[in-house]
Amino acid sequence: MPSPETVYIFATITAAGGKADELRAVLAALVPEIRKEPGNISYELHENAAKPGEFHFYEAYSNEAAVQAHMANPLLHETFRNAGTLFVAPPVAIVTKRIA
């Protein structure tokens, strides 16, 4: 159940040309591991139906401390470091708070 402390993140990652399938597999493999993090409420991977290769994460964490723990997760850093050639730019993340 969301609380006033719940933090939501929308992150976008765009695959480099010809790398969508490879990036999709890397990102999909990350999902079950991130869901195990303490404080993780939701970690969902989506792909833009009109722009294959443009991936979006919908994330929810119980509080800011859980977000900070997520951002410090070595697996997250290792995955993005190893997959760096698969996307055109670093991921863009927007931190939000639920209104309604």
Q: What would the pLDDT profile of 18-62 be if each residue is shown by its tens digit?
A: 999 999 999 999 999 999 999 999 999 999 999 999 999 999 999
At 70 the pLDDT is: 97
At 1 the pLDDT is: 57
Delimit the domains of the chain by residue range: 7-51+64-96
Q: How far is it, in rounded angstroms, from Cα 34 to Cα 11?
A: 14
At 27 the pLDDT is: 97
Q: How far is it, in rounded angstroms, from Cα 48 to Cα 99?
A: 24
Mean pLDDT, residues 71-79: 95
Asked whether 91 and 11 are in contact (CB, 8 A), the reply is yes
Q: What is the mean pLDDT of the chain?
A: 95
DSSP letter (8 states) at residue 86:
G
Question: What is the CATH architecture assignment of 7-51+64-96?
Answer: 2-Layer Sandwich (3.30)
Return the higher-pLDDT residue of 3 and 36. 36
Mean pLDDT, residues 10-23: 97
At 81 the pLDDT is: 93
pLDDT at 84 over 90: no
Helical ranges in 4-89 per DSSP H: 20-34, 64-71, 74-82
Single-letter residue type at 12 = T
Phi and psi dihedrals of 67, rounded to 5? -65, -45
